[in-house]
Structure 1
Amino acid sequence: MVQAEDEAGNAVLREVRQLLRELRILELLAEYHPRLAGTVPLGIQVEGSDLDIICEVQGPRRFTAEARCHFGQLEGFNAVTRTVGGVVRTKINFVAGGWPIELFGQPLPTEKQNAWLHMQVEERILKLLGPGFAEKIRSLKSGGMKTEPAFAKLLKLEGDPYEEMLSLGRLNPEEFNAVCRRAQPYI
């Protein structure tokens, strides 16, 4: 069963990579250091999951104008820039190849953005706890739960799930493993 899940996950990732090549998203937005983040690279996507592409954006107007030039003709194109917690964030959504796509930009290097940091922590957890845990995450997500709250629930984390997941990334390996052991009953 694990092999079948891996093959299915790899097939989805291959499909997504092909779509990104066809759209030339990573090439056209190269100056923004785009990275595919979120559930698809982790293989925990569910029906309706989107493709999250995070970008380092210092000039949101220019970023939006470029995205509109390249992708504005695609279904559901919408761009919003707003300030949250003192940080200007631009979110651009559209649909291509049957996938909802979200371009997310903020003035931080992509590898320092929360979406990337969350994904790194989630990848460590999934590698440690295995396919049973991944299936439980997919089940919670299929029921409507967002990714970080699903992880936090299974790991019995208290407080804001988004902040708690970030804090796991700062733990040493022994502490990290101890937190992950809390999820053992779910596996």
Structure 2
Amino acid sequence: MKNDFTSIAYLKRGSAVQQQVYQILTQQQVLRPLQVFTPVVVGTYPLDIAIETSDIDIACQFDTLEVFQHVVQTNFGRAEGFTTTVFNCCNTPTYVANFVLGGFPIEIFAQAVPVTEQYGYRHMLIEHRILEEKGEEFKTQIIAYKKAGLKTEPAFAQVLNLDGDPYEALLAYFL
């Protein structure tokens, strides 16, 4: 099934946990203040491979880091467990905010790079395609590796027997 991951509408008709995520995002109006930053929910929830410790990942693009920081701080700064960090990822200034809403941990990841070019989004599309091709048994294996402590990309690399850096290996998987 082809999902338009740039909208959260697919979550509304997804699994029970995806529907919960949809409710949290809409009831708490998480995406509304981020609209100008093209927010996209990425990662395990869109792929329906989330485990108990998974967070709702939201990728965004900013033009000005300070403006983005202000919007996030103003709208989510009072949320439970709110923390932020700024660092370089892929030679790009990166902002991450973490907090909890409605019992779900949320991570906002932002760079001055279009969301569709960020690793998180690109990995999700590749992982989605792999899950579609490989089926339920493969998905079960990925979830088992995640429950054993692996992050998503290393879990995919393990099940697919990919060598080297799992993040780079996934990006090259369909080349």
Q: Name the residue aligned to 1:28.
A: 33
Q: Unpaired runs of 5+ in structure 1? A: 1-8, 172-187
Could you tell me how far 1:83 is from its partner in structure 2?
Answer: 2.0
- The structure that has the greater radius of gyration is 1
SS in 1 for 2:32: helix
Q: Unpaired runs of 5+ in structure 2? A: 1-13
Q: Does 1:62 align with 2:67?
A: yes
Q: In terms of mean alpha carbon deviation, does 81-90 or 152-161 score higher? A: 81-90
Does structure 2 conserve the Cα–Cα contact (< 8 Å) formed by 1:79 and 1:91? yes
Q: Name the residue aligned to 1:94.
A: 99
SS in 2 for 1:65: helix
Does structure 2 conserve the Cα–Cα contact (< 8 Å) formed by 1:89 and 1:104? yes
Q: Name the residue aligned to 1:82.
A: 87
C-alpha distance in 1, partners of 2:52/2:117? Answer: 28
C-alpha distance in 2, partners of 1:137/1:151? Answer: 6
Percent identical across equivalent pairs? 40
Q: Deviations over 1:25-56 (max 9, x none)?
A: 22110000000000011110111100000000
Q: Does 1:115 align with 2:120?
A: yes
Amino acid at match of 1:80: T
Amino acid at match of 1:155: L
Bigger proportion of residues as helix = 1
- For these two proteins, the number of residue pairs brought into alignment is 162
Q: In terms of mean alpha carbon deviation, does 59-68 or 131-140 score higher? A: 59-68
SS in 1 for 2:74: helix
Could you tell me how far 1:84 is from its partner in structure 2?
Answer: 3.0
C-alpha distance in 2, partners of 1:85/1:112? Answer: 12
Aligned match for 1:129, one of 131, 134, 156: 134
